[in-house]
Amino acid sequence: MHRHRDRQQEQDGSRQPGQDGSQQRRVIRVLVVAQILGGVGAGATLSLGALLAAETSGSSAWSGMAATMATLGAAAAAVPLATLAQRRGRRISLATGSLISCCGALLAITAASLSLFPLLLVALVLLGAGAATGLQARFAATDLATQSTRGRSLAVVVWSTTIGAVLGPNLFEPGQVVAGVLGIPPLSGGFVFTAAAQVAAAIVYSLGLRPDPLLTALRHQAADRPAEDAAPGKQRGLAILARNPGARFAVVTIAVSHAAMVSVMAMTPVHLHDHGAGLSVIGLTISLHVAGMYALSPVFGWIADRVGTTQGILCGQVLLLVALLTAWRGSESEAGVTASLILLGFGWSACIVSASALLAGAVDVSERAPVQGSSDLVMNLAGALGGALAGPALVLLGYSGLGAIAAVPVAVVLAWTLTRLSAARTKDPLLA
C-alpha cells in the first residue's frame, strides 16, 4: 500500500523535498491570513451591495444585481488570473486579484456618492475579482502539498474564509460611523473596510508567498523530469479538460454542486418570507447554511486524503441529494427548510473540497493553473445560471419543485461517481 502511494506521488509530481515541507506550512499560514482579509470584502459585497444597488437605482427590484454582477465578475477574472499565475506565479496573481477588488470597492463608494447605478454595476464586477482570488487561493494550497495532505491543505484555506465571511456582513454600523467621518453615503462606509482589507491581503500575498509555491513546484517538476520526457505544451484549460477524464469529472462535480447550492439557497429567504417567517428566522437559517459550507471542511479534507477524493465526492453528493429531497418534502416546515439548508452546506463543502483536491492531482503541475482557472469559470457561470433559473422555478413550481429539479443533475453526478468507483475497483482495488 505504501509503495503504491509513493508511486502515485511520483507520478503526479507531489513528492517534495524536506525543505518544501516547511515552505508548504508557511504558504498555508499566509493563505489563511489573506483569506480572512479577503472574506471581509466578500461578505460586505453580498450584504451591502444589494442595499446599495436598491438605493442608487431607486428600486429594490435591482437589488439582486449585486450578487449577479459580482458572480459574473468572478467568472470573468478566473481565467486571466490563472493565466497570470502560470506566467508569473501565485504571488503576483493573487495580489493582483485583491488589488482589482480594492479598486471595485473604491469605485462602489464613488458610485454611491454620485448616485450612479451603472457605475455601481461596474464596481461590483471588479469586486467579483476578490471572489475569484479566494477560489484560486485554495488551489495555491495544493501546489507543494503531497498527495496524502492535499485535501486537508485545501480544506484549511477554505475553512478560513468563514471568519471574514462572518465579519463582513456585520460591518454595517461601523461603516456608517466611518462614512460620517469621511462624508460619504452611509451605505458605502462598509466598502472602506473592504478596500483596506483587500490592500492588506495583497500585501500579505506579495510578502508572504516568497518563494512562490507554483513556480517552486514547476521547478521541481522540471528538475525531476527525465530529459527525454518533455513537459506538455501550453494548452488552454478547456482543451486539457477535453482529454482528461478525471479532471473533467472533478470540474462537472464542482459546477453541478455549486449550481444546486446557489439555486436553493438564493430562494430560501424569499420562500420563508412568503410563508410568514420573521427576519430572525431567515437570518438564522442562512447563518447555519454558511456555517455548514465551511465549518466541516477540514473533516472533508481528511476524508479526501485518508479515504479518497472520489469517496469524498460520493459523500458530498449523497448529502446534497438528501438536502434537496428534504427541501422537496419539507418545504412547508421551517425546521425542514433549515435542515435542508444545513445539509446543503455540508454537501457543497464535501464536494468542493474533494473535487478540487482531485482536480489538483489529476493534471500535470504545468497544467494546473489553466485547468483550475477554467474550473472556477465554469463554477461561477453554473452558479449564476442556477441563481437566474431559480426565481422562475420558484414561481412556477414552488420551493418543493425547485428542490426536486435541483436534485436531478445531482443524481446524475452521483451515478457517475458510483460508476467511477466501480470501474476503479475492477481495474485496481488500491485506486478505489
Q: How confident is the model at residue 52 (pLDDT cuts 50, 70, 90)?
A: confident
Question: What is the rounded average pLDDT for all residues in the chain?
Answer: 84
pLDDT of residue 39: 77
> Exposure string (b/e) for 124-139, b if CB count within 10 Å is 16 or more?
bbbbbbbbbbbbbbbb
**pLDDT above 50 (res 241):** yes
Q: How confident is the model at residue 41 (pLDDT cuts 50, 70, 90)?
A: low
**pLDDT above 70 (res 395):** yes
Which pTM does this prediction carry?
A: 0.82
pLDDT of residue 228: 45
Is the model more confident about 334 or about 215? 215
pLDDT of residue 10: 37
pLDDT of residue 386: 87
What is the spatial distance between Cα 110 and Cα 153, in angstroms, rounded to a whole number? Answer: 39
The conformation of residue 331, written as its DSSP 8-state character, comes to T
Mean pLDDT of 166-178: 74
What is the per-residue pLDDT across 324-333, written as a single tens digit (0 to 9) for each?
Answer: 999 998 888 8
**pLDDT above 50 (res 301):** yes
Asked which of 55-59, 221-225, 328-332, 343-347 is least confident by mean pLDDT, the reply is 221-225
pLDDT of residue 392: 87
Q: Which three cell numbers stand for residue 159?
A: 475553512
pLDDT of residue 429: 47
Q: How confident is the model at residue 8 (pLDDT cuts 50, 70, 90)?
A: very low
**pLDDT above 60 (res 5):** no
Show the CA angle centred on residue 198, arms to residues 194 and 204, nearest 5°.
Answer: 145
The structural domains of the chain, ordered by start, are 12-231 (1.20.1250.20), 235-432 (1.20.1250.20)
> Exposure string (b/e) for 66-85, b if CB count within 10 Å is 16 or more?
bbbbbbbbbbbbbbbbbbbb
| Range from 96-110, 234-248, 260-274, 362-376 that averages highest in pLDDT | 96-110
pLDDT of residue 43: 63
Mean pLDDT of 254-274: 87
Output the CA torsion 353→99→382→61 (10° steps).
130
**pLDDT above 50 (res 11):** no
End-to-end CA separation in angstroms for the chain: 12
Q: What is the SS3 assignment for the chain?
A: CHHHHHHHHHHHCCCCCHHHHHHHHHHHHHHHHHHHHHHHHHHHHHHHHHHHHHHHHCCHHHCCHHHHHHHHHHHHHHHHHHHHHHHHCHHHHHHHHHHHHHHHHHHHHHHHHHCCHHHHHHHHHHHHHHHHHHHHHHHHCCCCCCCCCHHHHHHHHHHHHHHHHHHHHHCHHHHHHHHHHHCCCHHHCHHHHHHHHHHHHHHHHHHHCCCCHHHHHHHHHHHHCCCCCCCCCCCCHHHHHHHCHHHHHHHHHHHHHHHHHHHHHHHHHHHHHHCCCCHHHHHHHHHHHHHHHHCCHHHHHHHHHHCCHHHHHHHHHHHHHHHHHHHHHCCCCHHHHHHHHHHHHHHHHHHHHHHHHHHHHHCCHHHHHHHHHHHHHHHHHHHHHHHHHHHHHHHHHHHHHHHHHHHHHHHHHHHHHHHHHHHHHHHCHHHC
Q: How confident is the model at residue 349 (pLDDT cuts 50, 70, 90)?
A: very high
Percent pLDDT > 90 in the chain is: 46
Percent pLDDT > 70 in the chain is: 86
**pLDDT above 80 (res 171):** no
What is the per-residue pLDDT across 307-340, written as a single tens digit (0 to 9) for each?
Answer: 999 999 999 999 999 999 999 988 888 888 889 9
